[in-house]
Amino acid sequence: LAAERAAFTERNPRSAAAHAESRHLLGGVPMTWMAKSLAGFPLYLGRASGARVVDLDGHELLDFCLGDTGAMAGHSPAPTVAAVTRRYAELGGATTMMPTEDAEVVAAELASRFGLAQWSFALSATDANRWALRLARALTGRPRILVNSFSYHGSVDESFIVAGPEGPRPRPGNVGPPVDVTETSRVAEFNDLAELERQLAFGDVAAVLMEPALTNMGIVLPDPGYLIGVRALTRAAGVLLVNDETHTVSAGPGGCTRAWGLSPDVVTIGKAIGGGIPIGAYGLSAELAERLRRRTELDLVDTGGIGGTLAGNALSLAAARATLTEVLTDSAYEHMTALSTRYTAGVQELITTCGLPWTVTQLGARSEYRFTPVRPRNGTESQRATDVELEDFLHLYLLNRGVLLTPFHNMALMCPQTTAADVDRHLTVLGAAVRTLTS
């Protein structure tokens, strides 16, 4: 690890200098996000295109991180660039406070992909989740939100709760919570229907917010029947089911919702659908939209606390329209999924031939490996399998040889511009890293 850190420092003098110059001026993200696992300074971006980024020192990197899904359509895809440029000139930017026809097209496209009737827009997936949860509380009149232990839904206060032997507790590492999360939230492990049923029986849960498969800590797939059970239990308890498809949209154009025939009340999404421009969206089932319409007529007249000046802005929607209709098409998904299968098979072969105590799991266009010989079934098991030092070594080894992946969950994502040669190069470098470890 020390040798890879030294090589990283030597290889990236301009990033190091940029960091030295700006460290007192720039705080937080983007300075800290990816820097933790590097050598004390972040890699600065020079430019990006398709499946590649070029850092400030001019190294071209094969990008399998893709903005942790935000660039799943590839960097600056041509149709999206053209649409945003045109709409910027025509519509005067992102601060108009008026809907455009693009909004209708994007809503119709999302409705047909996810099977949910009515869509509203936000600026990020975090916003979409926050606003969906506010609506859920307003519609049900109940105070609490239930999430899966160690799931991640953005900086949504209610979601920072984990299960433990002594009961629920705030998720470690989140600073400045505004409220005691054990009072606003409930938690159950993914794949544990009995615990979910027990928690819902308290009668105070407005919504279950969950990913259909956990993605932020390796991929944790649902057991057969688990998601059907979740739907049955939430329906019986009058609890809204919110599927966060921000990452699981890798499963296909309609995420897991369409791929697995799910019927949530709400779907939230962000990142990928904007083609690199910030956006979030939440969709309501026809039944829920009708419920909201009736409540709005009666007493939910003022939806203060939901929305924002830039939510649903013209540029985000121009970007989303082009991205959905021209970039993240059915055939692009076929290409991305085939490459992900090739990558996953390659990692599996490494695991087998080198006798590594790892597992690798694919969900459509994304694939993540985990340092545990048995596939984790929930967030707590997956969290236990973290090996920060090994993760850092692999991340740096790959970066020093021109391959970028998402470090904190070892995630490799394909975009429409990724090629089979890119995947094979990634596998060759990963193989060399592994052999360094095992020789």
Per CB under 6 A, the segment of 2-10, 19-27, 243-251, 410-418 that binds ligand PLP is: 243-251
Is residue 42 a contact point for ligand PLP (CB under 6 A)? no
- How many helices and strands, by DSSP H and E, does the chain display? 15, 16
Per CB under 6 A, the segment of 41-49, 119-127, 313-321, 355-363 that binds ligand PLP is: 119-127
Q: Any residues with CB less than 8 A from the CB of 63 and at least 6 apart, and which?
A: 48, 51, 52, 53, 71, 75, 404, 415
Contacts of the segment 223-226: beta carbons below 8 A, 24+ positions apart: 223/191, 223/377, 226/190, 226/191, 226/193
- 281/385 with CB nearer ligand PLP: 281
- 258/401 with CB nearer ligand PLP: 258
Identify the residue among 75, 271, 395, 409 touching ligand PLP (CB under 6 A). Answer: 271
CB 8 within 8 A of CB 39: yes
Identify the residue among 77, 154, 275, 379 touching ligand PLP (CB under 6 A). Answer: 154
Question: Angle at CA 288, nearest 5°, toward 95 and 282?
Answer: 35
- 378/400 with CB nearer ligand PLP: 378
- 39/209 with CB nearer ligand PLP: 209
Length of the chain: 439
Identify the residue among 216, 313, 344, 400 touching ligand PLP (CB under 6 A). Answer: 216
- 126/257 with CB nearer ligand PLP: 126
8-state DSSP, 130:
H
- 44/408 with CB nearer ligand PLP: 408
State which of positions 56-95 bind ligand PLP (CB under 6 A). 68
Which residues partner with 373 through β-bridges? none
8-state DSSP, 75:
B
- 126/400 with CB nearer ligand PLP: 126
Closest residue (Cβ) to ligand PLP? 154
d(Cα 80, Cα 13) in Å, to the nearest integer? 33
CB 229 within 8 A of CB 197: no
Which CA distances in Å does 397 have to 4, 350, 393, 438? 6, 16, 6, 14
Q: Which two tokens stand for residue 294?
A: 């009736």
Q: Any residues with CB less than 8 A from the CB of 195 and at least 6 apart, and which?
A: 163, 188, 189
Is residue 148 a contact point for ligand PLP (CB under 6 A)? no
Per CB under 6 A, the segment of 76-84, 146-154, 218-226, 424-432 that binds ligand PLP is: 146-154
E-assigned strand segments in 262-400: 266-270, 280-284, 359-363, 366-370
Per CB under 6 A, the segment of 43-51, 53-61, 241-249, 285-293 that binds ligand PLP is: 241-249
CB of 311 to ligand PLP, least distance (A): 13
d(Cα 432, Cα 426) in Å, to the nearest integer? 10
Per CB under 6 A, the segment of 94-102, 166-174, 240-248, 330-338 that binds ligand PLP is: 240-248
CB of 169 to ligand PLP, least distance (A): 21
CB of 213 to ligand PLP, least distance (A): 10
Is residue 199 a contact point for ligand PLP (CB under 6 A)? no
Is residue 153 a contact point for ligand PLP (CB under 6 A)? yes
Per CB under 6 A, the segment of 36-44, 150-158, 354-362, 416-424 that binds ligand PLP is: 150-158
- 156/427 with CB nearer ligand PLP: 156
CB 266 within 8 A of CB 285: yes
- 306/433 with CB nearer ligand PLP: 306
d(Cα 82, Cα 76) in Å, to the nearest integer? 10
CB of 184 to ligand PLP, least distance (A): 18
Binding residues for ligand PLP (CB under 6 A): 68, 124-126, 129, 152-154, 211, 216, 244, 246-247, 270-271
